[in-house]
Structure 1
Amino acid sequence: MIRKATPSDLNQIHRLTQACASAMIKQGIYQWNEHYPTKSRFQKDIELQELYVLEIDLTIQGIIVLTSIMDDEYIPVQWLTKNENNLYIHRLAVHPDVWGKGYAQQLMTYAETFAKNNKYQSIRLDTFSQNKRNQQFYKTRGYKKLSDIYFPKQSQHPFYCYELIV
C-alpha cells in the first residue's frame, strides 16, 4: 500500500535511508551521506505532505517525495517543457533487503499516475552520475537525460537530470 507519510513514520523512514546509504557505499556509490538526506529533511517532507511510503505488512519498504516545487539547482537546466505545472521526484528509496522485488517500479508507477491524474505536464528528477542502475531504471521508463547539476555537500560528481513528458 502506498500512502502519505505521517510523523510517526519518521524514525522508520530515516533508518530505511541510512540502510540505503550504507548499501550504496558498499557498492562504491557515494550518493547519500551524513549531509543528505537528513531526518529534518524528511520531517519537512512530511509537514508539506509530499512524502509517500510503500508499506508492506506494516513495514515501510520504500519512500518517494512528490512535489511541485522546483529546487534552485534545477533553474539552469534546459528542460523539455516550460517551468509550469511540473512534478518533481526526490528521495526515491527502497530498503536494500527488498531490492529487486519491483518496489521502486511500484513507487514510480504511483508517481506517474499521480502526475497524469493531477494534470502535470511532466515529471522531473535527478539521479547520481555514479549510480548506473538508477540511470538505466529511468531510461527504461522513458525518461530523457538532460543536463548535469551538482550538490557539493553530497558529491564532487554530477547528478543527471531527467524529464518525462506526461
Structure 2
Amino acid sequence: MQVLNSQSNDIDTIFEFYDMAIAHQKKVFNKHWQGFSLDLVTQEVSENRQYKILVDGVVACVFAVTFADKLIWGDRDQDSIYIHRIVTHPNFRGYAFVKEIIKWAKEFASENNIKYIRMDTWADNEKLLEYYTACGFEYVGVVTLNESEGLPKHYEGISLSLFEIVV
C-alpha cells in the first residue's frame, strides 16, 4: 500500500471516484456532495494536496488536504492539516484507509511541525461520527456555517461535526 501525490493524469480518476461517492451517498444518507470544479482539483494536484492510495499498483482511495480552513474552523484554524473528500473505490471497502491516512498524516505533521490533523462531516451523519472517533479522532463539536464562499456547494447552509487528532 502506497500513499502518493496525485498527478495531472489522475484527474479523470479522481472525478470517477467523486461520482462513485456521490452515487453511494445518495443510497445511504440524506445529503450528498454537489460535485467539484475542475479548477479546484487541478489546483490541488498542482499544489501537491491531492493524494491517492495504491494497492498493488491500483488506485484504491483518493483524498485531498488543505492547510487552512478558516470558514469551518474559525479561530482554531492554525497549525493543522485538514483532510477532505476521502473516497474509497467499492472494490477496496474494508481496507481501513482512514486509519492509513491518519498514519500518513501523523508522519507528515511531524515532519512539518503541524500540531493537528482535522476533519469535518455533516453534523447529522451518525455513522461517520462513530467511524471517525473509532479511528482515533476526537469529536470537538459542531459548527454551523454562516459563510461558504470558496467552499464546494454542499457546504452551503449546513452544520458540521468537527474532529481532530493532536499530533
Q: Output the TM-score relative to the length of structure 2.
A: 0.82
Alignment partner of 1:148 is 2:124: no
Aligned to 2:13: 12
Give the 3-state SS of the residue equivalent to 2:153 in structure 1: coil
Shift, 1:14, TM fit: 0.7
- How many pairs were matched up? 159
Aligned to 1:136: 130
Q: Which amino acid aligns with 2:47?
A: L
Identity %: 18
Aligned to 1:39: 38
Q: Which amino acid aligns with 1:8?
A: N
Aligned to 1:118: 112
Aligned to 1:68: 67
Counterpart Cα distance in 1 of 2:109 and 2:32: 26
Alignment partner of 1:102 is 2:103: no
Distance 1:70 1:15, change over 3 A: same
Give the 3-state SS of the residue equivalent to 1:75 in structure 2: helix
What does 1:49-64 correspond to in 2, within 5 Å?
A: 49-64=48-63
Deviations 1:41-95 (A, max 9, x none): 211110111111101233211122232222433226xx4xxx4322211222212
Alignment partner of 1:93 is 2:78: no
Q: Determine if contact 1:13/1:60 at 8 Å carries over to the other structure.
A: no
Higher relative contact order (CA 8 A, sep 6+): 1
Counterpart Cα distance in 1 of 2:106 and 2:30: 26
Moved over 4 A (4+): none
Q: Output the TM-score relative to the length of structure 1.
A: 0.82
Q: Which amino acid aligns with 2:140?
A: K
Counterpart Cα distance in 1 of 2:90 and 2:124: 18
Shift, 1:163, TM fit: 2.0
Of Structure 1 and Structure 2, which has the larger fraction of its residues in helix? 2
Give the 3-state SS of the residue equivalent to 2:68 in structure 1: coil
Shift, 1:29, TM fit: 4.0
Give the 3-state SS of the residue equivalent to 1:123 in structure 2: strand
| Unmatched runs of 5 consecutive residues or more in structure 2 | none
Counterpart Cα distance in 2 of 1:38 and 1:102: 28
